[in-house]
Structure 1
Amino acid sequence: MRMLKRILCLFVPFFMAVPAHATTTKAAVFPFGIHDAQQDGEIVPQYNPEDLRRLTVVVEELKALMAKDGKYAVVDLAPHAKEIEAASPFDQCNGCEVPIAKEAGADIAVTGYVDKVSDALLSLRIVARDTKTGELTKTMSAAINGNTDELWLHGVRYLWRNRFNVEAQPK
Protein backbone atom coordinates (compact mmCIF):
# COMPACT_ATOMS: atom_id res chain seq x y z
CA MET A 1 0.00 0.00 0.00
CA ARG A 2 2.83 2.38 0.84
CA MET A 3 4.46 1.66 -2.46
CA LEU A 4 1.25 2.53 -4.31
CA LYS A 5 1.04 5.85 -2.44
CA ARG A 6 4.63 6.68 -3.34
CA ILE A 7 4.03 5.91 -7.00
CA LEU A 8 0.89 8.03 -7.04
CA CYS A 9 2.72 10.91 -5.36
CA LEU A 10 5.38 10.77 -8.02
CA PHE A 11 3.12 10.63 -11.07
CA VAL A 12 0.02 12.62 -10.14
CA PRO A 13 1.77 16.01 -10.55
CA PHE A 14 2.70 15.10 -14.14
CA PHE A 15 -0.88 14.32 -15.05
CA MET A 16 -2.13 17.50 -13.43
CA ALA A 17 0.41 19.67 -15.27
CA VAL A 18 -0.94 18.83 -18.73
CA PRO A 19 -4.54 19.89 -19.32
CA ALA A 20 -6.59 17.11 -20.87
CA HIS A 21 -8.09 19.47 -23.47
CA ALA A 22 -4.79 20.91 -24.68
CA THR A 23 -4.36 20.44 -28.41
CA THR A 24 -1.55 21.46 -30.64
CA THR A 25 -2.23 22.48 -34.22
CA LYS A 26 0.36 21.11 -36.63
CA ALA A 27 1.35 23.82 -39.10
CA ALA A 28 3.19 23.51 -42.40
CA VAL A 29 4.83 26.89 -43.01
CA PHE A 30 5.85 27.21 -46.65
CA PRO A 31 8.46 29.54 -48.19
CA PHE A 32 7.00 32.99 -48.84
CA GLY A 33 6.82 34.50 -52.31
CA ILE A 34 7.54 38.00 -53.56
CA HIS A 35 6.35 40.36 -56.27
CA ASP A 36 8.67 43.28 -56.98
CA ALA A 37 6.93 45.94 -59.08
CA GLN A 38 10.36 47.20 -60.16
CA GLN A 39 10.80 43.89 -62.00
CA ASP A 40 7.48 44.08 -63.89
CA GLY A 41 8.04 43.65 -67.61
CA GLU A 42 11.31 41.77 -67.17
CA ILE A 43 11.45 38.40 -68.91
CA VAL A 44 13.63 37.02 -66.11
CA PRO A 45 13.11 39.09 -62.93
CA GLN A 46 16.29 39.85 -60.99
CA TYR A 47 15.13 39.96 -57.39
CA ASN A 48 17.23 41.77 -54.82
CA PRO A 49 19.18 39.10 -52.88
CA GLU A 50 18.50 41.02 -49.65
CA ASP A 51 14.75 40.79 -50.26
CA LEU A 52 15.01 37.05 -50.87
CA ARG A 53 17.03 36.67 -47.67
CA ARG A 54 14.43 38.70 -45.77
CA LEU A 55 11.70 36.32 -46.97
CA THR A 56 13.56 33.50 -45.23
CA VAL A 57 14.09 35.62 -42.12
CA VAL A 58 10.36 36.38 -41.93
CA VAL A 59 9.37 32.72 -42.40
CA GLU A 60 11.82 31.61 -39.71
CA GLU A 61 10.48 34.29 -37.35
CA LEU A 62 6.90 33.12 -37.91
CA LYS A 63 7.94 29.52 -37.22
CA ALA A 64 9.72 30.60 -34.03
CA LEU A 65 6.67 32.57 -32.85
CA MET A 66 4.42 29.58 -33.53
CA ALA A 67 6.71 27.14 -31.72
CA LYS A 68 7.18 29.49 -28.75
CA ASP A 69 3.41 29.91 -28.38
CA GLY A 70 2.96 26.19 -27.76
CA LYS A 71 -0.40 26.17 -29.52
CA TYR A 72 1.32 25.23 -32.80
CA ALA A 73 3.85 22.61 -33.81
CA VAL A 74 5.68 23.39 -37.04
CA VAL A 75 6.10 20.31 -39.22
CA ASP A 76 9.27 19.64 -41.18
CA LEU A 77 8.76 20.22 -44.90
CA ALA A 78 12.31 19.30 -45.95
CA PRO A 79 11.25 15.86 -47.30
CA HIS A 80 8.80 17.68 -49.61
CA ALA A 81 11.30 20.16 -51.10
CA LYS A 82 10.81 18.97 -54.70
CA GLU A 83 7.02 19.15 -54.45
CA ILE A 84 7.24 22.62 -52.90
CA GLU A 85 9.54 23.89 -55.63
CA ALA A 86 7.28 22.49 -58.35
CA ALA A 87 4.10 23.98 -56.83
CA SER A 88 5.37 27.45 -55.94
CA PRO A 89 4.62 30.34 -56.09
CA PHE A 90 1.78 29.56 -53.71
CA ASP A 91 0.02 32.90 -54.09
CA GLN A 92 -0.87 31.88 -57.66
CA CYS A 93 -1.96 28.26 -57.25
CA ASN A 94 -5.17 28.57 -55.21
CA GLY A 95 -4.41 26.08 -52.46
CA CYS A 96 -1.95 23.73 -54.14
CA GLU A 97 0.05 23.74 -50.90
CA VAL A 98 -2.75 21.92 -49.04
CA PRO A 99 -2.01 18.37 -50.32
CA ILE A 100 1.68 18.84 -49.51
CA ALA A 101 0.86 20.05 -46.00
CA LYS A 102 -1.61 17.21 -45.47
CA GLU A 103 0.97 14.64 -46.59
CA ALA A 104 3.44 16.18 -44.12
CA GLY A 105 0.93 15.62 -41.32
CA ALA A 106 -0.13 19.25 -40.84
CA ASP A 107 -3.54 20.54 -39.80
CA ILE A 108 -3.00 23.90 -41.48
CA ALA A 109 -0.94 25.14 -44.43
CA VAL A 110 0.56 28.61 -44.01
CA THR A 111 1.81 30.64 -46.96
CA GLY A 112 2.91 34.22 -47.33
CA TYR A 113 3.68 36.82 -49.89
CA VAL A 114 5.42 40.18 -50.03
CA ASP A 115 4.26 42.76 -52.56
CA LYS A 116 7.06 45.27 -53.03
CA VAL A 117 5.90 48.45 -54.73
CA SER A 118 9.15 50.24 -53.88
CA ASP A 119 11.81 50.23 -51.15
CA ALA A 120 9.52 52.54 -49.18
CA LEU A 121 6.23 50.66 -49.62
CA LEU A 122 5.73 46.94 -49.14
CA SER A 123 2.88 44.71 -48.06
CA LEU A 124 3.17 41.38 -46.22
CA ARG A 125 0.32 38.89 -46.55
CA ILE A 126 -0.10 35.62 -44.64
CA VAL A 127 -2.73 32.99 -45.43
CA ALA A 128 -3.67 29.78 -43.61
CA ARG A 129 -5.76 26.93 -45.00
CA ASP A 130 -7.30 23.93 -43.31
CA THR A 131 -5.71 20.78 -44.74
CA LYS A 132 -8.89 18.74 -44.38
CA THR A 133 -11.11 21.09 -46.38
CA GLY A 134 -8.70 23.37 -48.25
CA GLU A 135 -10.73 26.33 -46.99
CA LEU A 136 -9.10 29.58 -45.94
CA THR A 137 -9.07 29.88 -42.16
CA LYS A 138 -7.00 33.05 -41.88
CA THR A 139 -5.97 35.78 -44.25
CA MET A 140 -4.18 38.94 -43.18
CA SER A 141 -1.87 41.66 -44.44
CA ALA A 142 0.24 44.48 -43.08
CA ALA A 143 1.87 47.48 -44.70
CA ILE A 144 5.62 47.81 -44.28
CA ASN A 145 6.98 51.32 -44.79
CA GLY A 146 10.64 50.64 -45.46
CA ASN A 147 12.90 47.85 -46.60
CA THR A 148 14.94 46.67 -43.63
CA ASP A 149 15.13 43.45 -41.63
CA GLU A 150 13.67 45.24 -38.60
CA LEU A 151 10.64 46.52 -40.53
CA TRP A 152 9.92 43.16 -42.18
CA LEU A 153 10.18 41.46 -38.78
CA HIS A 154 7.94 44.11 -37.25
CA GLY A 155 5.36 43.30 -39.96
CA VAL A 156 5.34 39.54 -39.29
CA ARG A 157 5.28 40.08 -35.51
CA TYR A 158 2.40 42.51 -35.85
CA LEU A 159 0.42 40.01 -37.91
CA TRP A 160 1.19 37.21 -35.46
CA ARG A 161 0.16 39.23 -32.44
CA ASN A 162 -2.87 41.05 -33.86
CA ARG A 163 -4.26 38.81 -36.59
CA PHE A 164 -2.91 35.25 -36.67
CA ASN A 165 -2.85 34.44 -32.97
CA VAL A 166 -5.56 36.83 -31.86
CA GLU A 167 -7.67 34.04 -30.30
CA ALA A 168 -4.93 33.44 -27.74
CA GLN A 169 -5.02 37.01 -26.48
CA PRO A 170 -6.78 37.57 -23.14
CA LYS A 171 -10.00 39.52 -23.45
Structure 2
Amino acid sequence: MENGLFFRRRLLAVAVSALAWGGAPLAFAAGGDPSPIKIAVFNFELDDFSAGAGIAGNAAADLEHLDQATSEARRLLAESGRYSLVDVAGAQGDSVRERGLRQCNGCEAALAQRLGADQSFVGVVTRVSRTEFTVRFQILDARTGAVVANKATDLRMGADYAWSRGAASLIKNGLLN
Protein backbone atom coordinates (compact mmCIF):
# COMPACT_ATOMS: atom_id res chain seq x y z
CA MET A 1 0.00 0.00 0.00
CA GLU A 2 2.80 2.40 0.92
CA ASN A 3 4.66 1.64 -2.37
CA GLY A 4 1.51 2.37 -4.37
CA LEU A 5 1.10 5.74 -2.69
CA PHE A 6 4.76 6.58 -3.34
CA PHE A 7 4.39 5.66 -7.03
CA ARG A 8 1.24 7.80 -7.45
CA ARG A 9 2.92 10.78 -5.75
CA ARG A 10 6.02 10.39 -7.93
CA LEU A 11 3.92 10.18 -11.09
CA LEU A 12 1.99 13.30 -10.08
CA ALA A 13 5.24 15.17 -9.36
CA VAL A 14 6.63 14.27 -12.80
CA ALA A 15 3.41 15.39 -14.55
CA VAL A 16 3.29 18.69 -12.63
CA SER A 17 6.97 19.33 -13.35
CA ALA A 18 6.48 18.71 -17.08
CA LEU A 19 3.53 21.08 -17.21
CA ALA A 20 5.38 23.75 -15.23
CA TRP A 21 8.18 23.77 -17.78
CA GLY A 22 5.77 24.31 -20.69
CA GLY A 23 5.60 20.76 -21.91
CA ALA A 24 2.88 18.19 -22.01
CA PRO A 25 2.95 15.30 -19.59
CA LEU A 26 4.55 12.21 -21.07
CA ALA A 27 2.52 9.06 -21.49
CA PHE A 28 3.74 6.13 -19.43
CA ALA A 29 3.76 2.51 -20.45
CA ALA A 30 2.62 -0.20 -18.03
CA GLY A 31 6.15 -0.73 -16.71
CA GLY A 32 6.60 2.94 -15.83
CA ASP A 33 8.86 3.60 -18.83
CA PRO A 34 8.09 6.73 -20.86
CA SER A 35 6.57 5.82 -24.20
CA PRO A 36 7.14 7.90 -27.29
CA ILE A 37 4.51 10.49 -28.08
CA LYS A 38 2.71 9.71 -31.33
CA ILE A 39 3.01 12.83 -33.47
CA ALA A 40 1.59 13.72 -36.89
CA VAL A 41 4.15 15.91 -38.65
CA PHE A 42 2.40 17.67 -41.50
CA ASN A 43 4.26 19.18 -44.47
CA PHE A 44 5.99 22.51 -43.90
CA GLU A 45 4.11 25.44 -45.41
CA LEU A 46 5.19 28.73 -47.00
CA ASP A 47 3.73 32.09 -46.02
CA ASP A 48 5.19 34.56 -48.54
CA PHE A 49 4.99 38.23 -47.54
CA SER A 50 7.81 39.36 -49.83
CA ALA A 51 7.32 42.11 -52.40
CA GLY A 52 7.41 39.56 -55.21
CA ALA A 53 5.07 37.04 -53.62
CA GLY A 54 3.32 35.02 -56.27
CA ILE A 55 5.25 36.52 -59.19
CA ALA A 56 8.92 36.13 -58.33
CA GLY A 57 10.73 32.97 -57.46
CA ASN A 58 10.25 29.37 -58.33
CA ALA A 59 7.30 27.51 -56.82
CA ALA A 60 8.85 24.10 -57.59
CA ALA A 61 12.07 25.07 -55.79
CA ASP A 62 10.06 26.42 -52.84
CA LEU A 63 8.20 23.10 -52.55
CA GLU A 64 11.49 21.20 -52.70
CA HIS A 65 12.93 23.29 -49.86
CA LEU A 66 9.73 22.90 -47.81
CA ASP A 67 9.88 19.13 -48.33
CA GLN A 68 13.51 19.11 -47.16
CA ALA A 69 12.50 21.00 -43.99
CA THR A 70 9.66 18.49 -43.42
CA SER A 71 11.99 15.53 -43.89
CA GLU A 72 14.55 16.97 -41.50
CA ALA A 73 11.89 17.65 -38.85
CA ARG A 74 10.54 14.11 -39.15
CA ARG A 75 14.02 12.61 -38.98
CA LEU A 76 15.01 14.55 -35.87
CA LEU A 77 11.78 13.84 -34.03
CA ALA A 78 11.88 10.12 -34.85
CA GLU A 79 15.55 9.75 -33.92
CA SER A 80 15.01 11.53 -30.60
CA GLY A 81 13.15 8.55 -29.16
CA ARG A 82 10.66 10.97 -27.57
CA TYR A 83 8.35 10.83 -30.57
CA SER A 84 6.88 8.17 -32.80
CA LEU A 85 5.80 9.41 -36.23
CA VAL A 86 2.25 8.81 -37.42
CA ASP A 87 1.76 8.54 -41.18
CA VAL A 88 -0.05 11.66 -42.43
CA ALA A 89 -0.53 10.42 -46.00
CA GLY A 90 -4.17 9.59 -45.22
CA ALA A 91 -4.99 13.14 -44.09
CA GLN A 92 -7.78 14.60 -46.21
CA GLY A 93 -8.94 18.12 -46.96
CA ASP A 94 -8.03 21.26 -48.85
CA SER A 95 -5.97 22.65 -45.96
CA VAL A 96 -3.70 19.60 -46.06
CA ARG A 97 -3.50 19.37 -49.86
CA GLU A 98 -2.82 23.09 -50.31
CA ARG A 99 -0.46 23.35 -47.32
CA GLY A 100 -2.80 25.72 -45.51
CA LEU A 101 -3.07 24.17 -42.04
CA ARG A 102 -1.49 27.32 -40.58
CA GLN A 103 -4.75 29.13 -41.41
CA CYS A 104 -7.31 26.59 -40.18
CA ASN A 105 -7.40 27.67 -36.52
CA GLY A 106 -6.15 24.43 -35.04
CA CYS A 107 -7.92 21.95 -37.33
CA GLU A 108 -4.66 19.98 -37.51
CA ALA A 109 -5.25 18.70 -33.97
CA ALA A 110 -8.47 16.95 -35.01
CA LEU A 111 -6.76 15.60 -38.15
CA ALA A 112 -3.93 14.22 -36.03
CA GLN A 113 -6.36 12.59 -33.63
CA ARG A 114 -8.20 10.88 -36.52
CA LEU A 115 -4.81 9.55 -37.68
CA GLY A 116 -4.16 8.09 -34.21
CA ALA A 117 -1.65 10.72 -33.05
CA ASP A 118 -1.34 12.32 -29.62
CA GLN A 119 0.00 15.59 -31.06
CA SER A 120 0.12 17.53 -34.33
CA PHE A 121 3.12 19.41 -35.74
CA VAL A 122 2.81 22.17 -38.33
CA GLY A 123 5.91 24.01 -39.54
CA VAL A 124 5.81 27.29 -41.44
CA VAL A 125 8.46 29.24 -43.32
CA THR A 126 7.54 32.91 -43.63
CA ARG A 127 9.34 34.76 -46.40
CA VAL A 128 9.72 38.42 -45.47
CA SER A 129 12.05 39.23 -48.37
CA ARG A 130 14.25 37.21 -50.70
CA THR A 131 16.92 36.96 -47.99
CA GLU A 132 14.91 37.13 -44.77
CA PHE A 133 12.84 34.25 -43.45
CA THR A 134 11.19 33.08 -40.26
CA VAL A 135 10.91 29.37 -39.50
CA ARG A 136 8.38 28.36 -36.88
CA PHE A 137 6.44 25.36 -35.72
CA GLN A 138 3.49 24.70 -33.48
CA ILE A 139 2.62 21.45 -31.72
CA LEU A 140 -0.95 20.93 -30.53
CA ASP A 141 -2.44 18.29 -28.26
CA ALA A 142 -4.59 16.21 -30.62
CA ARG A 143 -7.29 15.57 -28.02
CA THR A 144 -7.75 19.10 -26.64
CA GLY A 145 -6.23 21.37 -29.28
CA ALA A 146 -4.09 23.03 -26.57
CA VAL A 147 -0.72 24.43 -27.63
CA VAL A 148 2.10 22.16 -26.42
CA ALA A 149 4.96 24.07 -28.08
CA ASN A 150 5.26 27.14 -30.28
CA LYS A 151 8.77 28.07 -31.41
CA ALA A 152 10.21 30.46 -34.01
CA THR A 153 13.57 31.61 -35.31
CA ASP A 154 14.73 34.16 -37.86
CA LEU A 155 17.05 33.53 -40.80
CA ARG A 156 18.64 36.76 -41.95
CA MET A 157 20.75 37.08 -45.07
CA GLY A 158 19.90 33.50 -45.80
CA ALA A 159 18.55 31.62 -48.74
CA ASP A 160 15.71 29.21 -49.28
CA TYR A 161 18.07 26.22 -49.17
CA ALA A 162 18.66 27.08 -45.49
CA TRP A 163 15.04 26.39 -44.48
CA SER A 164 15.79 22.80 -43.47
CA ARG A 165 18.81 23.93 -41.42
CA GLY A 166 16.66 26.55 -39.68
CA ALA A 167 14.00 23.93 -38.92
CA ALA A 168 16.64 21.51 -37.62
CA SER A 169 18.22 24.13 -35.37
CA LEU A 170 14.85 25.17 -34.00
CA ILE A 171 13.84 21.58 -33.21
CA LYS A 172 17.21 20.66 -31.69
CA ASN A 173 17.53 23.80 -29.57
CA GLY A 174 13.90 24.71 -28.92
CA LEU A 175 12.19 21.36 -28.47
CA LEU A 176 14.63 18.51 -27.94
CA ASN A 177 17.19 20.24 -25.71
TM-score clears 0.5: yes
The residue that corresponds to 2:78 in the other structure is 67
The residue that corresponds to 1:161 in the other structure is 172
Task: State the alpha-carbon separation in 2 of the partners of residues 119 and 88 from structure 1.
Answer: 20
Moved runs in structure 1, 4+ residues, more than 6 A?
A: none
The residue that corresponds to 1:77 in the other structure is 88
User: Identity rate of aligned residues, in percent?
Assistant: 28
Counterpart of 2:135 (choices 124, 130, 144) is 124
Structure 2: any 5+ residue segments left out of the alignment?
Answer: 1-30
Change (3 A) 1:87 1:120: closer
Number of matched pairs: 145
User: Structure 1, residues 105-141: CA drift from partner, whole Å, max 9, x if none?
Assistant: 1011000111111221001010000011101110011
Structure 1: any 5+ residue segments left out of the alignment?
Answer: 1-18, 167-171
Counterpart code for 1:120: T
Q: Which has the higher Rg, Structure 1 or Structure 2?
A: 1
Counterpart of 1:35 (choices 32, 47, 57) is 47
TM-score (norm: length of structure 2): 0.73
Task: State the alpha-carbon separation in 2 of the partners of residues 89 and 66 from structure 1.
Answer: 22
Are the aligned partners of 1:140 and 1:159 in contact in 2 as well (CA < 8 Å)? yes
The residue that corresponds to 2:27 in the other structure is none
The answer to which structure has the higher helix fraction is: 1
The residue that corresponds to 2:38 in the other structure is 26
